[in-house]
């Protein structure tokens, strides 16, 4: 099971179908694009949350935002509000557009999907990731805690580490690299 399926669960097929429709991709290419981009975005979120300021910003975004709406209604994926939220998320996660462009180029080289499409898809992937994390943390309606996120100042075991460390070896780097390698080759 890839990270996309881990994060989105039962919503992954509907999300892939919607992305294929919105971006005029074959469903297999839409899945390949999402499988290539999701680990990079998730790793960026985890890396950002490992620093106190980033963890605080993620905590506030999850607490105040209504990110789950994007997976509750997958037809919203790719629409203007989704793109704006996604670009804001990417700004926090990657810091600048050059990193996003580099990610799109790298995944394009490995997947054969146009970097132009992947650049447009990155904000959608960012909102999907935040939606999935928000649903995991807020599913019961309780406010998320910094410890639950697994970011800076926590003792580990947070949602980000749990989602990304599939082999439970305490390191997510090997898992993200394996997922990206599977998705891209």
- Compute the chain's Rg from CA coordinates: 15
Taking the C-alpha atoms of residue 152 and residue 143, their distance in angstroms, rounded to an integer, is 18
pLDDT score of 131: 82
From first to last of the 185 residues of the chain, give the pLDDT tens digit: 466 666 666 667 888 898 899 999 999 999 999 989 988 888 888 877 777 777 777 777 777 777 677 777 777 787 888 889 889 889 888 888 888 899 999 999 988 999 999 999 999 999 888 888 777 766 544 444 444 445 444 444 455 555 555 555 655 445 544 544 444 43
Residue pair 127/77 in contact (Cβ under 8 Å)? The answer is yes
The number of angstroms, rounded, from the C-alpha of 67 to the middle of its chain's C-alpha atoms is 12
Are 48 and 93 a contacting pair, CB within 8 Å?
Answer: yes
- According to the model, what pLDDT value does residue 142 have? 44
pTM listed for this prediction: 0.73
Unique residue bearing structure tokens 């995991």:
136
Counting Cα atoms < 13 Å in the Cβ hemisphere of 64 gives 7
């Amino acid at each position: 099971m890839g990270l996309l399926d881990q994060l989105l669960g039962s919503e992954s097929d509907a999300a892939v179908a919607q992305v294929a429709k919105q971006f005029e991709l074959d469903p297999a290419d839409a899945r390949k694009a999402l499988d290539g981009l999701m680990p990079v975005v998730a790793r960026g979120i985890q890396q950002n949350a490992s620093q106190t300021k980033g963890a605080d910003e993620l905590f506030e975004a999850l607490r105040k935002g209504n990110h789950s709406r994007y997976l509750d209604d997958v037809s919203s994926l790719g629409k203007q509000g989704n793109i704006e939220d996604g670009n804001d998320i990417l700004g926090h996660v990657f810091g600048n557009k050059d990193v996003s462009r580099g990610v799109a180029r790298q995944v394009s080289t490995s997947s054969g999907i146009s970097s132009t499409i992947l650049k447009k898809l990155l904000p959608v992937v960012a909102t999907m990731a935040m939606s999935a994390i928000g649903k995991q943390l807020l599913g019961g309606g309780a406010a998320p805690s910094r410890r639950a996120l697994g970011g800076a100042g926590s003792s580990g075991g947070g949602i980000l580490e749990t989602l990304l460390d599939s082999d439970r070896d305490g390191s997510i780097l090997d898992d993200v690299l394996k997922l990206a390698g599977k998705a891209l080759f």
